[in-house]
Amino acid sequence: TRVWTHHNVRKAYNSLNHLWRSEMLFVYLNPPAGVLAPERIKSTTNSLEGGINAQLKLLARTHRGRSGERQRRMLDWWLYLKNGTA
């Protein structure tokens, strides 16, 4: 048995191990049969970090005085206006 001294390392290890066992780690290398456009699966999340996530973070930071529920609804509304789905 392993003795874990760092809780976050154990969580990361277990998370990666779970993804590996469920064959969801590196899924972009060998996409499942039902994927409509496997060539569009990206290996990184760079498009999210520089695109939509950055705008969401800026909006949340600009309106940081709102309560948690109001801020969540504001971000949901912004996402709805951006792409028509919540």
What is the model's pTM?
0.43
Q: pLDDT in tens for each of the 86 residues of the chain?
A: 678 889 999 999 999 999 999 988 887 777 777 776 767 666 666 666 667 788 888 999 999 899 989 999 999 999 899 886 65
Cα 72 from Cα 61, distance rounded (Å): 12
Cα 27 from Cα 6, distance rounded (Å): 28
What are the φ/ψ torsions at residue 5 (nearest 5 degrees)? Answer: -100, -20
Question: How many Å is the Cα radius of gyration of the chain?
Answer: 18
